[in-house]
């Protein structure tokens, strides 16, 4: 497949003159063809106008038709074969095995959302039938369901070129809900983005969907992102990336004359709490899991365990000794691009220069700066130093973590209370530990979106009960998830219909339950007709 480097607006390759940018293979430094063209504000406007114009026709499609679209997208992505995997590997440095697995996650979640759309229960249909003879006032016919909100702007993540990018959860859930999507391609893997965008266009054509239901724009600078967020036809924004970039876009969304929801995943240090019983029983086993999570994907996961807290003990000493040995034996690996590598190196320098923080382990194999290779690095400190150093709480994206030695239960609770919002928090313990440290669990319920017992946050299960989001700054809206089928609720809102004739209502809330979906009728959950 020959790449063109241009944006795709409503199914058509749309050239843009002016500023261009290139991408290099992070492992080799080789410049990858072609050059990519920065999208103009005029093209961004055209994409959103096409999305808005297609909205009524797209949302009117039956659930079966939108489900078929999502399945067709999965099929078309798979039809790209190894060429897609090879391009993603060249652009990101991610191993082929990782690329293959992540492609499976992306196509699997598209098919999972297709199943959700067909089921129909997700629209949360509620029907309260009229009671004209009710005293002292008659009861009207009132019905409610979720409806799509309109054009959605999606910013793809750099660390997941398939699962959280052009055809990631954001795009798939929005299309499934009936919302047209305009994707801002991630400049870290623009060729991969272009290939997947082409697959989505083919799927739209195959299922006879409006072409304006999907567009993708290229761009490396900030201007195009801000233009998309500020555009008056944008109804919601989904973003995965850095705190700094995400906050700028979040502020722009809030400052609009008509603010729109901004669902941003901005970063997390994912604290791990090691409780006494677990350390006594299996300190070395916990260390193996910890270092595996720390180094997985070169630490380039939003759920990477960046902080560890444990009570000073022989068990904590054993954990640290085993972790030290494993970190030293781990091999450096190429990060997604030079910019991420440089930020990682800066974070390591900051930790190293902090008084009271000790470097206890680093990959013994030499790392190549030219290949943007990060060496796994482990630090240690005490609770007093940690509490006095605000910078130690800041995320360093990559394979590094700080183990903090705490003096007692009160230290753990006080530190937990001082933490910012997190995507995940992990507790390693026994059932007795959980009972003894029940207050720690209560604290973490207010700090994190997902609390894990005897595990780590990496390796997210894509399923209906998953929640991937947490209090700020881990995400901008902790009520919603960006992973799992509940992600669809970011792009819909409830609409209530009162007194409508049955045949003029949306099909999902008519008397006849033609889809057999679960609905609430007069306060009872049922699949029966109303």
> So which residues are the catalytic ones?
265, 302
Nearest to 152 by CA among 55, 249, 244: 55
> What is the C-alpha separation between 473 and 482, in angstroms, rounded?
15
Report how far apart, in Å, the C-alpha atoms of 27 and of each of 23, 32, 213, 369, 510 are: 12, 12, 36, 10, 58
Give the burial string for 200-235 (b: 16+ CB within 10 Å, else e): bbbbbeebebbbbbbbbbbbbeeebbbbbbbbebbb
**How many alpha carbons fall within 13 Å on the CB side of residue 414?**
11
Q: Which residues, including other chains, have CB under 8 Å from residue 467's CB and lie 6 or more apart?
A: 449, 450, 481, 483, 484, 486
Count of CB atoms situated within 10 Å of the CB of 479: 11
Closest by Cα among 272, 262, 180 to 225: 262
Of 497, 10, 474, 495, residue with least CA distance to 243: 474
- Tally the residues of the chain: 530
Nearest to 84 by CA among 72, 99, 69, 104: 99
Q: Give burial (CB, 10 Å; 0-12/13-18/19+) of 464.
A: exposed
DSSP 131: B
Rounded alpha-carbon distances, angstroms, from residue 482 to 72, 174, 423: 22, 11, 11
Query: Per the structure block, which two tokens stand in for 291?
Result: 């270092």
């Amino acid at each position: 497949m020959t790449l063109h480097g241009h944006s795709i607006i409503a199914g058509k390759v749309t050239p843009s003159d002016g500023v261009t940018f290139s991408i290099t293979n992070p492992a080799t430094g080789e410049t990858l063809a072609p050059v990519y063209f920065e999208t103009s504000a005029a093209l961004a406007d055209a994409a959103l106008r096409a999305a808005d114009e297609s909205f009524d026709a797209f949302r009117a499609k039956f659930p079966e038709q939108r489900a078929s679209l999502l399945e067709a997208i999965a099929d078309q992505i798979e039809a790209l074969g190894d060429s897609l995997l090879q391009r993603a590997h060249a652009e990101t440095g991610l191993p082929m095995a990782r690329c293959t697995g992540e492609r499976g996650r992306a196509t699997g979640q598209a098919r999972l959302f297709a199943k959700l759309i067909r089921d129909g229960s997700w629209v949360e249909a509620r029907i309260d039938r009229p009671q004209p003879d009710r005293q002292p006032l008659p009861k009207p016919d009132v019905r409610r369901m979720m409806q799509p909100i309109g054009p959605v702007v999606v910013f793809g993540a750099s660390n997941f070129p398939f699962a959280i990018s052009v055809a990631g959860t954001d795009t798939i859930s929005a299309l499934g809900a009936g919302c047209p999507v305009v994707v801002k391609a991630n400049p870290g893997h623009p060729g991969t983005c272009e290939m997947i965008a082409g697959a989505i266009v083919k799927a739209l054509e195959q299922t006879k969907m409006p072409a304006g239901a999907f567009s993708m724009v290229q761009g490396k600078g900030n201007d195009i992102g801000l233009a998309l967020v500020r555009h008056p036809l944008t109804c919601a924004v989904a973003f995965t990336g850095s705190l700094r970039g995400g906050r700028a876009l979040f502020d722009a969304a809030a400052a609009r004359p008509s603010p729109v929801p901004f669902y941003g995943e901005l970063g997390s240090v994912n604290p791990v709490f090691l409780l006494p019983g677990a350390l006594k029983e299996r300190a070395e086993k916990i260390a193996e899991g910890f270092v595996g999570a720390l180094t997985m994907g070169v630490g380039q996961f939003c759920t990477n365990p960046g902080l560890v807290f444990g009570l000073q003990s022989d068990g904590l000493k054993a954990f640290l000794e085993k972790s030290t040995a494993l970190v030293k034996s781990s091999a450096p690996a190429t990060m997604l691009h030079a910019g991420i590598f440089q930020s990682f190196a800066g974070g390591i320098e900051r930790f190293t220069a902090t008084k009271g923080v000790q470097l206890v382990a680093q990959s013994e194999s030499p790392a190549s700066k030219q290949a943007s290779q990060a060496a796994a690095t482990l630090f240690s400190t005490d609770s007093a130093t940690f509490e006095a150093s605000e910078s130690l709480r800041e995320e360093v994206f990559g394979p590094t973590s700080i183990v903090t030695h705490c003096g007692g239960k009160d230290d753990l609770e006080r530190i937990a209370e001082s933490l910012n919002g997190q995507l995940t928090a992990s507790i390693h313990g026994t059932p007795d530990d959980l009972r003894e440290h029940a207050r720690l669990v209560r604290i973490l319920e207010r700090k994190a979106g997902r609390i894990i017992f005897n595990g780590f946050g990496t390796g997210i299960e894509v399923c209906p009960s998953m929640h991937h989001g947490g209090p700020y700054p881990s995400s901008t809206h902790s009520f919603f998830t960006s992973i799992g089928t509940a992600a669809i609720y970011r792009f819909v809102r409830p609409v209530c219909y009162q007194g409508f004739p049955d045949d003029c209502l949306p099909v999902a809330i008519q008397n006849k339950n033609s889809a057999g979906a679960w609905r609430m009728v007069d306060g009872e959950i049922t699949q029966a007709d109303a």
